[in-house]
Amino acid sequence: MDWAALVAGALWAMLPAYVPNNAAVLLGGGPPIDGGRTLGGRRLLGDGKTWRGTAGGIGVGLLVAGALNLARPAVAARLGVDLVAFPLLAALGLAAGAMLGDVGASFLKRRLDRERGAAVPGLDQLDFVAGALALAGLFAPAWTRAAFSLPAIAVVVVATPLLHLGTNVAAYGAGLKTEPW
C-alpha cells in the first residue's frame, strides 16, 4: 500500500472539515445558538456555540473547498498523488457536518455537567470528524464513499487528534483560545 498517497489523500479530503472549527474561534461571538435556554438546569449548548461562529465556520469551509478545487491539479501533480475535487454538496456536508459535530459535542458535554471549555479527550478531537463524515455521507454519498475508504478513515481518526491538538495549542499560545484544547 502507498502510505504517503493514502495519508495525503485522506487529509486533503478532510481539509474543508478541519478549517470550520478554527474559523469559528476567530469569527465567533454574539448571540448563542441556544438563546440561553437550559435543559434540566444546564445550558442546552452554552455561550461557546454562536450563530456567527457557526455560519462563519461553514462559510470559510466552503471557501477552502473552492480554493482546493483551484489548487488541486497543481498540488496533485506536485505530490504525484490523486486528490479529490469537492462538489458543492460534498463541501457543504464536510463544513456544516464539522460544525454540527462540534455543536453535538457541546450538547453532550452540558448533559455530562461539563462547563463551557471543559476538555473531554476523544470527543473534542473527533466530534467534528464524525459530524463531517456523516453529513457528507448524507449530502454526497457516492463522493464520500470514493473519498473515504476504510483505510482513509483510519488515517483520519489517528491523525486528526494530533493535528487538532497542534492547532489548538498554537491558537492558545497566540491568545486566540482560552484553553489549549
Q: Which residues bind ligand CTP (CB under 6 A)?
A: 24-25, 28, 46, 48-50, 53-54, 99, 102-103, 106, 109, 116-118, 177
State which residue, 72 or 116, has the beta carbon closest to ligand CTP: 116
State which residue, 54 or 160, has the beta carbon closest to ligand CTP: 54
Q: Closest distance between ligand CTP and the C-beta of residue 50, in Å?
A: 4
State which residue, 12 or 160, has the beta carbon closest to ligand CTP: 160
Question: Taking the chain, what is the end-to-end CA distance rounded to the nearest angstrom?
Answer: 33
Q: Closest distance between ligand CTP and the C-beta of residue 22, in Å?
A: 9
CA atoms of 57 and 17, how far apart (whole Å): 9
State which residue, 72 or 114, has the beta carbon closest to ligand CTP: 114
State which residue, 136 or 177, has the beta carbon closest to ligand CTP: 177
CA atoms of 32 and 41, how far apart (whole Å): 17
Q: Closest distance between ligand CTP and the C-beta of residue 153, in Å?
A: 23
Element (H, E) at 1: none
In the numeric block, the cell 470527543 is attached to 123
Q: Closest distance between ligand CTP and the C-beta of residue 90, in Å?
A: 21
In a 10 Å sphere around its CB, with 0-12 CB exposed, 13-18 middle and 19+ buried, how is residue 120 labelled? middle
User: Bridge-partner residues for 43, per DSSP?
Assistant: 38
Q: Closest distance between ligand CTP and the C-beta of residue 6, in Å?
A: 29
Query: Who contacts 12 (Cβ-Cβ below 8 Å, separation ≥6)?
Result: 68, 75, 83, 84
